Chains A and B, each alone.
Chain A
């Protein structure tokens, strides 16, 4: 059962522009949401998170938006840099359970 979905397997943007990665979830019990970044041959690295009591969390170039009514979250990266090229996973957590999406491969072109 795919409780967390990332419908875009890949995204390509130009350096300096905004990258928007999207994620949808189905289980309303999830109350904590995270984004991870993964380079080849490395484990996922925690990037940013948001709890369900907020609708926005910002950390430098990274902002996560949460729309609880739509069960949708997004990660905005601005400005995008070539070093941001990686696979991004969203995750949703609740009741000691965490589920991951299948990931979106972001390519930032110089």
Chain B
């Protein structure tokens, strides 16, 4: 199965620490998206890449958040100086370029801030 892969599946850390998540998209997909999901809500868009270019960022993405996709393949999402409110499921999705292309999601990284 060559679906979207996310690591780690779970991350528990103390408030104030930095965390980094990795996403490996479906290999032929050139678009990659990051979302955040909290309990009882749908996924909320954070940012997206087309190849290595970060084309859009949500205002939800504060200065403590940074995402990279250096070679247009895998992506990392880093959160610096984590806060309690950062506790959530972080989802990655990928899609082909072009209109009307569905996004395919990974199983997410669940972040818990102690």
Contacts and interface: CB of A to CB of B under 8 A. Distances in A.
A102 B91 CA distance: 15
B100 A32 contact: yes
B102 A46 contact: yes
B104 interface: yes
Contacts of A98: 33, 45, 103
B56 A43 contact: no
A4 B100 CA distance: 18
Instruction: Report, as a range, how many residues of chain B touch the other chain.
Output: 20 to 34
Interface in B23-56: 33, 40-45, 48, 55-56
Nearest to B110: A41
Contacts of A101: 42
B99 A32 contact: yes
What is the size category of the interface that chain A forms with chain B? Answer: 20 to 34
Nearest to A53: B100
Interface of B: 4, 6, 33, 40-45, 48, 55-56, 91, 93, 99-100, 102-108
18 contacts: A32-B99, A42-B107, A43-B4, A43-B105, A43-B107, A44-B91, A45-B105, A46-B102, A46-B105, A49-B100, A89-B42, A91-B42, A96-B55, A96-B56, A97-B45, A98-B103, A100-B43, A102-B40
